[in-house]
Structure 1
Amino acid sequence: MEPFAPSVRQAAVAIRSLFDATPLQRNDFLSARYGADIWLKREDLTPVRSYKLRGAFNAMRKHMRGRSGADAHFVCASAGNHAQGVAFACRHFGARGTIFMPVTTPRQKIDKTRVFGGDCVEIVLTGDYFDQTLAAAQEFCAQQGAQFLPPFDSPDVIEGQATVAMEMLDQLGRAPDLVVLPVGGGGLSSGVSKYLREQAPETRLAFAEPLGGASLQGALETGQPVTLPAVDGFVDGAAVARIGALPFAELRRFAPSDVHLAPENRICITMLEMLNTEGVVLEPAGALAIDVLQDLDDIQGKTVVCVCSGGNFDFERLPDVKERAQRFAGLKRYFVLRLPQRPGALRDFLQLLGPDDDISRFEYLKKSARNFGSILLGVESTAPENLTALTERLSAAGFAFRDITLDDILSELLV
C-alpha cells in the first residue's frame, strides 16, 4: 500500500495558500477537571469555521491539475459546513460552483455560503429533505458534466481532512496518548486515523458520535455500513444516517467500544461551559469530542487531543441549547398539573414551591375546565434534588400531575 503521509503533507503545503495551521491549544480548565493534559485542535478557527474547507480544497486542487479555474464546474449538496467550504474554495480557484441546499436551510447558512463564494457560486434551494436535495444535485451533475464533490466519501476529501493530524503532530512535537475525534460521515475520523496509523501508531483513538446518529457504532457492530432508521438532527454537523463506505474501510479495524455516544442534551451543557468559561463558540458537532471526555475512564495523566470540528453556531439557537442543558442536568422540569378550580387552589400550590424554585411556564391547557384545570407547568431550580423534593410535596398534598420532561412526544406538542 502506498504511504499516505507524503500525499497528506503535500495537501497541507497547498492548503497554506488558504489559511495558516489552526491552533493547537492546551486547555487549563479541562486539564484540571480530568487530571490530564488536554489540548484542543481548533478547527472552528478556519476561515469557514470548520475543517470541511480542507477536504473541499484538496479535492478541487487534484481535479484541476493542468486546468484553469474558468474551465472547472463543481457541485455539492449541503445545508452547512461542506457548502461553505466548497464555496470558499471555488472563489479561491476562480471556479464555478453550484451548491444545492434544502429549502428549509436557515437563512444565516445560505447567506454565509453566498458571501464565501461570491460571484463564483450559485445557490439552488430545492427539496424539503436532504435526500431530495442530493438527488437534484446529482441529476444536475449528470446533465451539465460537472464535478460532484461529496462531503466525506472521497479519497481526496479524506486526504484533505487528514491534514488536521499532520498539523497536530507538528504542533505538539510528540505523539499524544489519545486523540478524540467527532464522527459524522467519517471523512475527518478516517483521514486522521489513517495518518496516525503511519506516523504515530502508539496513539490511541476514541470516537464521539451523537446518541441520535450513531452510524459508525452501528456499522462496527454489524461489520458493514448500515442506514439508521431515524436520526436526531440536533447535532447537524454529525447527524449522518450512514457512515461513508471509504471512511468505514479505514475505521472498521476499531471496536464498537471505541465509539462513545453523547446525548444531544448533554452536548448542550458542554457547549455552554465552553462558551461561558472559555469564551469558545462551538456548534454541537464541534463540542462532541470534549463532551465524551467524561465517558473516558483512563485519561488521568495522559496527553489527550480533542478535535473541535466547527464553530458555526447560530446564536438564535442559544435559548434552545440552554433549555436542553437544563433539562439534562435536572435543573428544569415540565409537568402537566391538575389544579382544582376552587378559590385558594393556586395559593396552595404556590406555597409548595421551595425558596430556589422558579416558575418559568404556567399555561392553562383547557380554558373551559369546571372542576379541574390542566396546566402546563415549567419549574427551574438550582439543584436537581430541589425539583425531586417538589414532586414529593405535590404528591403529599394530593395534587395530581404528570412529569413530561423526558416524554419526547408530549414535550414537542406542549412545550
Structure 2
Amino acid sequence: MPDFLSAVADATTAMRELFPQTALQENVFLSQKAGCRVFLKREDLSPVRSYKIRGAFNFIRKRLSEGVDGPFVCASAGNHAQGLAFVCRHFGKQGVIFMPVTTPQQKIDKTRAFGGEFIEIRLVGDYFDDCNRAALDYAASEGAVMVPPFDHDDIIEGQASVAQEVLEQAPAGVAFDRVIVAVGGGGLASGLTRYFDAAGQGAQFTLVEPAGAPSLKTSLEKGERVALKRFDNFVDGAAVGQIGERTFDTLKRYPASQVVLVPEDRLCTTIIEMLNVEGVVLEPAGALAIDALKDLAVRDRSGKAILCIVSGGNFDFERLAEVKERALRSEGLKKYFVLRMPQRPGALKDFLNLLGPEDDITRFEYLKKSARNFGSVLIGIETKNPANFAGLMARMNDNGLAWQDISENELMAGLLV
C-alpha cells in the first residue's frame, strides 16, 4: 500500500502542470438540510468538468515514460473522450476518439475543442458496443494504444489523486466520517477506497449506483461480476453493463448493503435543486453522491463530516425539460391520466370544474375517438401539493368518469408522454 500512496503522489504532482486542485467546499445548504457537515469535492470544476481527465493523464503519462508514443485511442461519447482529448493536446500526441453516430453534436464539438488538431473523431455505430469494437479493431490493426475508461491500474491510480487532494485540503480538525461516491465502471471508487485505506483513514464508504444500472450491487449479491442484460442509461456517466474486473477486485470486499441505488426520477430533483438553489450545474452521475444523502439514517449523518464526490458537470441543457418532468413526477406533483371523455357539449367544462385551485393542465390530447359517444384523452396535470391528486381522483370517481393513472406505467408513459 505505501507503493500505491507514492505512485498516487507522483501522479498528483505531475497533474499540477495540467490543472490546479479542484475545490473542496463545505456546503451550508446541504449541511443544514442533512443535519451534518457536508463537503463537496468539485470535480465538475476540472478543465473538462469531470474527474476523467485524471485517469487519462496518468495512463498516457506512464506510456510516454515507457517510450510509447501513441496514437492513443478510446471509445466514449462523454467525459472519457473529453479527458483524453485534453490530455492529447497537452502532450502534443495524436488521439483517435470513436463515438457512436448517435452522440449529441454538443459533445462532439466539446471533445474537438479540447483536442484541437491532435485528435480525430470517428463516428461509428448506433450503440456504444459497436463503437467500442471499432476502437479495439483500430488499435489492433494500427498498433495504437487503447486507453480504457476505468479498468486499468494506471487509471485507478490517476483517479485516486482526488483522495490525496481531499486529505490535503480538509480543514484543520476535520476527519471525514463517511465518503459518498458514485460507481459506474468503478475506477473512481476503487481509487478512493484504496487511498483512504492506505492512508489509514477510517471513513465509511457509501457506494452509489443509478437504480436502473445496478452493476456493482448485483455483482456483490452474486459474488461475481455480472453482466446486466438490460440497463437504463439515463445516468450516462455511471450506467455500465458490467463493473470492471480490476475494480470489482477492489470493491468486492464491501457488502451489497453498502451500495445505495438512487431512483433516476428522484435524482432529477437533486439536479434541479442544486441548479436553482446553489447555481451548480450537475450531470446525472455528478448528482448521485449528493442525492444519496437522502438515504442515510439519522445516526449515520447527525453531527458527522460527510464527503460527497461531485464527479461531473457536463449537463446537456437540451435534457433540462426531461429532467424537470421527471423531478415533478418523483415529487408527486405531476401525473398523467387517460380519461374516457363523453363526446357532448360541455363535457370538457364539467371536467375542468373538478380541478382544484392549485391544479393546472399541462397537456391535453385526444388519443382516439373510437365511438360516437366517447373519446380517449391524454391529460397531464401539475399541482402544488401531492395530496391534491387524492381529491381530484375522488371527484372523478364521484362524477362517473372512467380514468387511468399512467404516471407509473413505464410502457404507457413511454409511448404517450
Would the TM-score normalized by the shorter structure come out above 0.5? yes
Whichever residue aligns with residue 156 of structure 1, its letter is D
Q: How does 1:154-303 map to 2 (within 5 A)?
A: 154-173=152-171, 174-297=174-297, 298-303=300-305
Q: Distance in 1 between matches of 2:255 and 2:294?
A: 19
Offset at residue 343 of structure 1 (A): 1.7
Q: SS in structure 2 opposite 1:99?
A: strand
CA contact (8 A) 2:2 2:198 kept: no
Q: Deviations over 1:139-175 (max 9, x none)?
A: 0000000000000000000000000000001100543
Structure 1 residue aligned with 2:393: 391
| Letter aligned with residue 250 of structure 1 | T
> Is the 1:42–1:309 Cα contact (8 Å) retained in structure 2?
yes
Distance 2:403 2:204 in 1: 49
Deviation of the 1:275 alpha carbon: 0.4
The question of 1:405 aligning with 2:407 is answered: yes
- Are the counterparts in 2 of residues 181 and 208 from structure 1 also a CA contact under 8 Å? yes
Residue 336 of structure 1 is matched in structure 2 by: 338
Q: Give the one of 76, 95, 98 matched to 1:97.
A: 95
Q: 1:66, CA displacement in angstroms?
A: 5.3
SS at match of 1:128: coil
Deviation string 1:159-195 (CA, Å, 9 cap, x unpaired) is: 0000000000110054311000000000000000000
SS at the partner of 2:212? helix
Letter of the aligned partner of 1:304 in structure 2?
I
Please state how far the C-alpha of 1:3 moved relative to its aligned partner.
Answer: 2.8
Aligned mates of 1:369, 1:183 — CA distance in 2: 52
Deviating more after overlay: 322-331 vs 388-397: 388-397
Where does residue 345 of structure 1 map in the other structure? 347
Q: Distance in 2 between matches of 1:354 and 1:34?
A: 33
Q: Deviations 1:54-76 (Å, cap 9, x if unpaired)?
A: 000000000000548xx321000
Whole-Å Cα distance in 1 between the matches of residues 144 and 390 of structure 2?
60
What pairs with 1:104-115 in structure 2 (closer than 5 Å)? 104-115=102-113
Contact 1:44 1:310 in 2 (8 A): yes
CA-to-aligned-CA distance 1:228-286 (integer Å, 9 cap, x gap): 11110100000011000101111011011110000000000000000000000000000
Equivalent-residue separation in structure 1 for 2:240 and 2:386 (angstroms): 33
CA–CA distance in 2 between the matches of 1:219 and 1:15? 33
The residue type paired with residue 409 of structure 1 is L
Contact 2:159 2:188 in 1 (8 A): yes
Partner of 1:37: 37
Task: After TM superposition, give the deviation of residue 315 of structure 1 in Å.
Answer: 0.9
Which segment drifts farther, 193-202 or 17-26? 193-202
Q: How many residues end up aligned between the 2 structures?
A: 413
| 2:151 paired with 1:153 | yes
In structure 2, C-alpha distance between the alignment counterparts of 1:98 and 1:144, rounded to whole Å: 11
Distance, in Å, in 1 between the alignment partners of 2:101 and 2:369 is 37
Shift of 1:201: 3.3
Q: Hey, what does 1:76 align to over in structure 2?
A: 74
Q: Please name the residue that 2:314 is paired with.
A: 312
Residue 86 of structure 2 is matched in structure 1 by 88
Measure the CA separation in 2 of the matches of 1:83 and 1:405.
Answer: 36
| 1-structure distance, mates of 2:72, 2:2 | 28
Deviation at 1:368, TM superposition (A): 5.9
1:51 aligned to 2:45? no
TM score, norm. by length of structure 2: 0.98
Distance 2:138 2:65 in 1: 23
Runs of 4+ in 1 over 6 A off after TM superposition: none
The aligned amino acid for 2:189 is S
Q: Percent identity?
A: 58
SS at match of 2:368: coil
Deviations 1:213-233 (A, max 9, x none): 111101111111101111101
For 1:396 and 1:210, the matched residues in 2 are separated by 40
CA contact (8 A) 2:332 2:386 kept: yes
**Paired residue type of 2:38:** I
Q: Which amino acid aligns with 1:106?
A: P
Per-residue CA distance 1:119-154 (angstroms, 9 max, x = gap): 000000001111110100000000000000000000
Measured in 2, the distance between the counterparts of 1:264 and 1:7 equals 36
Which of 106, 114, 123 aligns to 1:125? It is 123
Task: Look up the SS of the partner of 2:164 in the other structure.
Answer: helix
How far apart are the structure 2 equivalents of 1:88 and 1:137? 19
Alignment check: 8 A CA contact 1:175 1:200 kept = no
Q: CA deviation at 1:367?
A: 4.5
CA-to-aligned-CA distance 1:346-374 (integer Å, 9 cap, x gap):
11111000000000000001146411010
Report if aligned partners of 1:84, 1:116 keep a CA contact under 8 Å in 2: yes
> What are the Cα deviations for residues 7-32 of structure 1, in whole angstroms up to 9, with x where unaligned?
00110001101100000000000100
CA distance in 1, matches of 2:375, 2:335: 19
> Secondary structure of 2:65's partner?
coil
